[in-house]
Chains A and B, each alone.
Chain A
Amino acid sequence: MAKITVDGIVYEVNPQNNLLQECLSHGLDLPYFCWHPCMGSVGACRQCAVKQYRNADDKIGTVVMSCMTPASDGAIISIADAQAVKMRSSVIESLMISHPHDCPVCEEGGECHLQDMTQMSGHNYRRYDFKKVTHRNQNLGPFINHEMNRCIACYRCVRYYDDYAGGKDLAALGAHHHVYFGRQEEGTLESEFSGNLVEVCPTGVFTDKTFSEHYTRKWDLQTAPSICTGCGAGCNTTPGERYGTLRRIVNRYHHDLNGYFLCDRGRFGYGFNSSDNRITEASLVSSHADEKGVRKPLTQQEAQRQFDALTAGDVVGIGSPRASLESNLALRARVGVKNFYAGFSAEQQRCMQAVIAINREQGLHCPDIRTLEQADCVLVVNEDITNTSPRFALALRQAVRNRAAQLATDARIPLWQDAAVRELAQNELSPLFILSPQGTRLDDVATETFLSTIAQQVALLSAIANTIDASVGTAATDEDSAEQARRIAAALISATKPTIVSGTSAGSEALIHATANVARALRKYSVQSAAINLCFAMPEVNTMGLALLMEEGGGTLDEALQRLARGNADAAIVLENDLSLRTTPAAIDAAIAGTDSGSAVWVVIDQLHNSFNARAQLLLPVTSFAEQNSTFVNYEGRAQSSHQVFPADAALRPGYEWLTPHDPLSPLLTTSETILFHSAQTLAAFAGAEKLLPPRTGMQALMKSPRQLHRYSGRTAMHAHSNVHESKQPTDRQSPMAFSMEGLSLQKDSSLLSAAWAPGWNSNQAISKFQDEINGELKQGCKGVHLLQRTLPPQSAMAVNSAKAGKKGTFVVYFIDHIFGSDELSAKSPAITARSVGPYLCIGKSEATALGLHQHGLARVSNGDHVVELPVLIRQRIAAGAVGIYCGAEINRHLFAGSVSVAPVNEDDNVLARSRQMFSDLIINDSLINNSESGRG
């Protein structure tokens, strides 16, 4: 610890940081633009000027940039010094020279860092009277607006997009007064993390295009702390609502997980909430003779009555990895544990059991996202994380820069000196190895990408484990793989924080065990060092939660369907689950036939219409994540609360409310809180989950946290078109939050951070006021509760069955995921749909030539029983003997798992043109270049 003096007051600081960061950490207001808490300093904007004095006798001092000056012990500075104040106000005046008088029509207005800093710097009269520089804007695709005239040239956008997120298609073009931040040519921004530009840019140059469609000022949005439902990473978000529709999602800082950044699926994938596909009323297929088969709407009371009547007997309940923990618990409670079945396949359930066991094993550690960023050697096994758990990929792009951090530390360059550190490191990156059936979007920063099928990966992993510890695994059979195994093993062994990342997408237990065996070998090799980082990405928001619940008993989806096919139930309740994504059509048809013959009914509770729930007799509309309180468990086993943002339409209810028998005497029994509390008391898997519940002491016991900022406007006028009397605000009896501006102010209690706001700080950058220090923990935030404890002793390496080879003349199938399209709900959001493609087949060049397939032509794919025609994408980077299938919403992946044969189809020009158009929207990396090979002359 060091001490510095700021305007006569002494502060304790970390001398590793710069003055700006330390001033902000201590809650001082000091304006800045180009500095960013996790991108460091470049000293570009000159806005953070302060006066620094050489010693106590120095009365004159020099103006320095606080972001470029270390907070060294004994430093004496002044923010209030007249010269520094003058300097800052002149700087902002010149930065603003060409800035338009746009605020009233600018979507940044009201949450604009430029507005905040301009005020803070005391520039309130514009003297520049001449012609301003103006620019032409670009169409950057369905996510982001571009309004270059508002740019103040702080360079944050390119530093984020290119340097931090690894984007290649945003550049600083031109120079001096006509510098332009955009693409070389108009077109969709390619990075999967482009949306963060909206928050990184301190002005209104980059704004959220989906928000524009139904724009509302920040202060008029109703917001609550929520969890992203795009995948199982558990990123924290702040969704905002106005007039009953969800308007946008912004990042909510979580120290261990998402930090300051989300992926574009998470940010722009909320539109399904108000999509035309939304189930808005309960309906029942009539069984009366005269109107048999007609679907009739029901009121909520009728629906509940029918539901209770139809499901009175022996009922099969099928849960869901995308429904809240509470809804799954309520379903289980309603049908009883012996009638409760997981909403995922037996295969996935086995994989999840394996993953959970690994997550309980001592000597291994499941890294949170921040820990992923700190890895100094990473092995990614099979999982295409950019497309399945995207935030991981952004973290690994930071992990590879630990080599740069190491070099800088050796050269005694502070890590916040961003430009210097990058200059020093040039192309040097920490090792990242990827095993994947096809080229991935991380290949550009990977040391090597090994194109391999699952069977080959299992063999290679086994060889790696064997290289590290000769008592486990099996040595490679050929010299090439032995050499590969040696390279990877050597890198893992010499790292101090080796990290292995995989997932369950392949549905292969063998792969999971083989992956864990490498970690186990490493653990054995380096006994003294810290636990070995190993994590598995989860495909859905509550995959882990449901898997934990299944530990407490219950069957698999396959068992449920078989039982229904036997006609062995009075009814089936399917909770928020499109079963056609989980199993074959035949299995569903058989189950439905079985229930039909016994006149059992299907009740489906869901958010969006789909072909599966169209077949249910009783369809019940359910609230979305933004309309209910939920608990979701992420890939680490971290349970987190997601709070209701706004009251849903009266016809919609949370799943747990539909499912919990109504007791008029104690309506409180059906709240998410009581369900969670009860499960924490009764189910071992959820012990400790009650810590998520808000404290019932002190001020919080008396007052609720408002969901509306104190400037929320129009409350009295909102409903004036139907009633001139101001209506009462809806009451929230279920949670510690209120649909109101009144209550505990954020400045008093921010344990429920509805939106980051502080006096003078209207943008999301106000978050620094809620952190214990810059990049630190939230002072009052809840980081969630870890449900998985390391209770199992270290296991020795498991024997791994090698996957079986396909028949001659067939190809091994791997399934492709896309960040935009592979997640069921977000795929139904207009902006995401605009970025999605239809199903297609990937095949290697030599295979395609041998079969007579053309690029973008058609292929007939068959597994013997089922045939589908798919557009062809010939890739350079694909494992030999494998073909990839992207299913989109159209193809049932369970039909083609295993191996398939492929044959050409005669295509006409129309087909070619259509698929060419489709593939032109697809952003993949099919480069032959890994980092180790690029950039060398």
Chain B
Amino acid sequence: MNIIASSTSRPTARALTAEEKHEIDHEMTLYPDKRAVGLEALKIVQKHQGWVSDESLMGVAEYLGMSAHELDGVATFFNLIFRRPVGRNVILFCDSVSCWIMGCDRIKEHISNRLGIDYGQTTADGEYTLLPVPCLGDCDRAPVMLMDGEQHRNLTAEKIDQLFAQRALNKEASESK
């Protein structure tokens, strides 16, 4: 669709990268309808860009021949499609019932104090974003959080400190390389 309705100030579609297109093309072979690929395409873009900007959203919409409005309906339906920039590490912190019983509030306080961010915020250096999620399915090892695709269980303040210290070390090491 090429509806001429964009004034200069509005964001315009970003051309998708060859890699993104390649992966989206693969998804397209799996569905009878291009629009069905919407969610997968958004995940692909997020994987490469970290989040889905307006420009990326429009790029995907154009590529799939659907309206950006419709696609944004999909994007915003899912909490884990990020429509605002997030840190390099997204902490998905469980605040559901088992974790709550096991004192996750204190752990969350600890993380917040240490990183200086609350739920929904990103550290100034762009390293961490903290988000609440409901139940990570690991209740017997509550409190639990998910960071970078890795589940961290039986959380304590010390464990959190270790985790962040380790990450800082890793980061230095990779930067000095």
Partner of A923, one of B4, B65, B79: B4
Partner of B1, one of A444, A917, A921: A444
Q: Are A171 and B69 in contact (CB under 8 A)?
A: yes
Q: Are B76 and A174 in contact (CB under 8 A)?
A: yes
**Given known A-B contacts A162-B70, A173-B73, A925 and B3 have beta carbons under 8 A apart:** yes
Please give, as numbers and ranges, the residues of chain B lying within 8 Å of A801 by CB-CB distance: none
Interface 1/0s, chain A 80-101, versus B by CB < 8 A? 0000000000000000000000
**What would be 10 A-B contacts, judged by CB atoms less than 8 Å apart?**
A168-B1, A170-B69, A190-B5, A426-B32, A916-B8, A923-B4, A924-B4, A925-B3, A926-B2, A937-B29
How distant is the Cα of A923 from the Cα of B36 in the complex, in angstroms? Answer: 27
| Residue B10 is within 8 A (CB to CB) of chain A in the complex | yes
Question: At the interface with chain B, which of A5-13, A180-188, A858-866?
Answer: A180-188
Q: Are B73 and A172 in contact (CB under 8 A)?
A: yes
Q: Are B65 and A924 in contact (CB under 8 A)?
A: no
| Residue A876 is within 8 A (CB to CB) of chain B in the complex | yes
Partner of B3, one of A170, A923, A937: A923
Partner of B4, one of A175, A426, A926: A926
How distant is the Cα of A69 from the Cα of B79 in the complex, in angstroms? Answer: 34
| Residue B17 is within 8 A (CB to CB) of chain A in the complex | no
| Residue A793 is within 8 A (CB to CB) of chain B in the complex | no
**Given known A-B contacts A173-B76, A174-B76, A937 and B34 have beta carbons under 8 A apart:** yes
| Residue A169 is within 8 A (CB to CB) of chain B in the complex | yes
Interface 1/0s, chain A 423-439, versus B by CB < 8 A? 00011000000000000
| Residue A927 is within 8 A (CB to CB) of chain B in the complex | yes
Interface 1/0s, chain B 1-17, versus A by CB < 8 A? 11111111011000000
| Residue A305 is within 8 A (CB to CB) of chain B in the complex | no
Please give, as numbers and ranges, the residues of chain A lying within 8 Å of B31 by CB-CB distance: 937
Please give, as numbers and ranges, the residues of chain B lying within 8 Å of A920 by CB-CB distance: 4-8
| Residue B118 is within 8 A (CB to CB) of chain A in the complex | no
Least Cβ distance of A393 to chain B in Å? 16
Q: Which secondary structure dominates where chain A touches chain B?
A: loop
Partner of B33, one of A172, A927, A937: A937
Please give, as numbers and ranges, the residues of chain B lying within 8 Å of A183 by CB-CB distance: 69
Please give, as numbers and ranges, the residues of chain B lying within 8 Å of A180 by CB-CB distance: 76
| Residue B86 is within 8 A (CB to CB) of chain A in the complex | no
Per CB-CB distance, the 4 closest pairs between chain A and chain B, nearest first, are A168-B67, A171-B73, A937-B28, A920-B7
**Nearest opposing residue in chain B for A162, CB measure:** B70
Please give, as numbers and ranges, the residues of chain A lying within 8 Å of B33 by CB-CB distance: 426-427, 935-937
| Residue A919 is within 8 A (CB to CB) of chain B in the complex | yes
How distant is the Cα of A171 from the Cα of B35 in the complex, in angstroms? Answer: 15
Q: Are B77 and A175 in contact (CB under 8 A)?
A: yes
| Residue B72 is within 8 A (CB to CB) of chain A in the complex | yes
How distant is the Cα of A170 from the Cα of B70 in the complex, in angstroms? Answer: 7
Please give, as numbers and ranges, the residues of chain B lying within 8 Å of A923 by CB-CB distance: 3-5
How distant is the Cα of A712 from the Cα of B123 in the complex, in angstroms? Answer: 60
Please give, as numbers and ranges, the residues of chain A lying within 8 Å of B29 by CB-CB distance: 937
| Residue B37 is within 8 A (CB to CB) of chain A in the complex | yes
Q: Are A184 and B72 in contact (CB under 8 A)?
A: yes
Q: Are A919 and B69 in contact (CB under 8 A)?
A: no
Please give, as numbers and ranges, the residues of chain B lying within 8 Å of A925 by CB-CB distance: 1-3
Least Cβ distance of B150 to chain A in Å? 27
Q: Are A168 and B70 in contact (CB under 8 A)?
A: yes
Q: Are B54 and A185 in contact (CB under 8 A)?
A: yes
A residues 895-937 with Cβ under 8 Å of B?
916-917, 919-929, 934-937
Least Cβ distance of A427 to chain B in Å? 7
Q: Are A168 and B69 in contact (CB under 8 A)?
A: yes
B residues 72-126 with Cβ under 8 Å of A?
72-73, 76-79
**Given known A-B contacts A936-B33, A937-B32, A927 and B2 have beta carbons under 8 A apart:** yes
Q: Are A935 and B69 in contact (CB under 8 A)?
A: no
Please give, as numbers and ranges, the residues of chain A lying within 8 Å of B73 by CB-CB distance: 171-173
**Nearest opposing residue in chain A for B75, CB measure:** A173
| Residue B44 is within 8 A (CB to CB) of chain A in the complex | no
**Nearest opposing residue in chain B for A171, CB measure:** B73
Partner of A924, one of B3, B11, B54, B71: B3
Q: Are A917 and B7 in contact (CB under 8 A)?
A: yes
Please give, as numbers and ranges, the residues of chain A lying within 8 Å of B60 by CB-CB distance: none
Least Cβ distance of A857 to chain B in Å? 15
Please give, as numbers and ranges, the residues of chain B lying within 8 Å of A928 by CB-CB distance: 2
Least Cβ distance of B34 to chain A in Å? 5
Partner of B65, one of A185, A916, A929: A929
Q: Are A935 and B10 in contact (CB under 8 A)?
A: no
**Nearest opposing residue in chain B for A916, CB measure:** B8
How distant is the Cα of A168 from the Cα of B35 in the complex, in angstroms? Answer: 13
Partner of A935, one of B34, B57, B76, B78: B34
How distant is the Cα of A174 from the Cα of B74 in the complex, in angstroms? Answer: 8
**Nearest opposing residue in chain A for B34, CB measure:** A937
**Nearest opposing residue in chain B for A178, CB measure:** B76
**Nearest opposing residue in chain B for A444, CB measure:** B1
A residues 118-169 with Cβ under 8 Å of B?
162, 168-169
How distant is the Cα of A187 from the Cα of B54 in the complex, in angstroms? Answer: 15
| Residue B68 is within 8 A (CB to CB) of chain A in the complex | yes
Q: Are A919 and B72 in contact (CB under 8 A)?
A: no
Least Cβ distance of A449 to chain B in Å? 14
Please give, as numbers and ranges, the residues of chain A lying within 8 Å of B54 by CB-CB distance: 184-185
**Given known A-B contacts A162-B70, A171-B70, A185 and B10 have beta carbons under 8 A apart:** yes
Q: Are B72 and A929 in contact (CB under 8 A)?
A: no
Q: Are A168 and B57 in contact (CB under 8 A)?
A: no
Q: Are B3 and A190 in contact (CB under 8 A)?
A: yes
Please give, as numbers and ranges, the residues of chain B lying within 8 Å of A929 by CB-CB distance: 1, 65
Least Cβ distance of A8 to chain B in Å? 44
Least Cβ distance of A567 to chain B in Å? 50
How distant is the Cα of A853 from the Cα of B31 in the complex, in angstroms? Answer: 42
How distant is the Cα of A922 from the Cα of B3 in the complex, in angstroms? Answer: 9
B residues 17-34 with Cβ under 8 Å of A?
28-29, 31-34
Please give, as numbers and ranges, the residues of chain A lying within 8 Å of B4 by CB-CB distance: 919-920, 922-924, 926
Least Cβ distance of B118 to chain A in Å? 17
Least Cβ distance of A424 to chain B in Å? 14
Please give, as numbers and ranges, the residues of chain B lying within 8 Å of A188 by CB-CB distance: 5
How distant is the Cα of A904 from the Cα of B79 in the complex, in angstroms? Answer: 52
**Nearest opposing residue in chain B for A427, CB measure:** B33
**Nearest opposing residue in chain A for B77, CB measure:** A175
Least Cβ distance of A120 to chain B in Å? 31
Q: Are A169 and B1 in contact (CB under 8 A)?
A: no
How distant is the Cα of A187 from the Cα of B11 in the complex, in angstroms? Answer: 12
How distant is the Cα of A874 from the Cα of B155 in the complex, in angstroms? Answer: 62
**Nearest opposing residue in chain B for A928, CB measure:** B2
Least Cβ distance of A930 to chain B in Å? 11
Least Cβ distance of A873 to chain B in Å? 8
Q: Are B72 and A935 in contact (CB under 8 A)?
A: no
The winner among A170, A427, A920, A937 for most chain B CB atoms within 10 A is: A937
Please give, as numbers and ranges, the residues of chain A lying within 8 Å of B28 by CB-CB distance: 937
The winner among B6, B31, B57, B70 for most chain A CB atoms within 10 A is: B70
Q: Are A175 and B76 in contact (CB under 8 A)?
A: yes
How distant is the Cα of A190 from the Cα of B5 in the complex, in angstroms? Answer: 9
The winner among A187, A876, A935 for most chain B CB atoms within 10 A is: A935
How distant is the Cα of A172 from the Cα of B79 in the complex, in angstroms? Answer: 14
A residues 256-297 with Cβ under 8 Å of B?
none
Q: Are A174 and B77 in contact (CB under 8 A)?
A: yes
How distant is the Cα of A427 from the Cα of B29 in the complex, in angstroms? Answer: 17
Interface 1/0s, chain A 190-205, versus B by CB < 8 A? 1000000000000000
**Given known A-B contacts A174-B77, A929-B1, A934 and B65 have beta carbons under 8 A apart:** yes
**Nearest opposing residue in chain A for B11, CB measure:** A185
How distant is the Cα of A175 from the Cα of B75 in the complex, in angstroms? Answer: 10
Please give, as numbers and ranges, the residues of chain B lying within 8 Å of A162 by CB-CB distance: 70
**Nearest opposing residue in chain B for A173, CB measure:** B76
**Given known A-B contacts A426-B33, A937-B34, A173 and B2 have beta carbons under 8 A apart:** no
Please give, as numbers and ranges, the residues of chain A lying within 8 Å of B5 by CB-CB distance: 187-188, 190, 920-923
Please give, as numbers and ranges, the residues of chain B lying within 8 Å of A917 by CB-CB distance: 7
**Nearest opposing residue in chain B for A933, CB measure:** B65
Please give, as numbers and ranges, the residues of chain B lying within 8 Å of A173 by CB-CB distance: 72-73, 76-77
**Nearest opposing residue in chain B for A168, CB measure:** B67
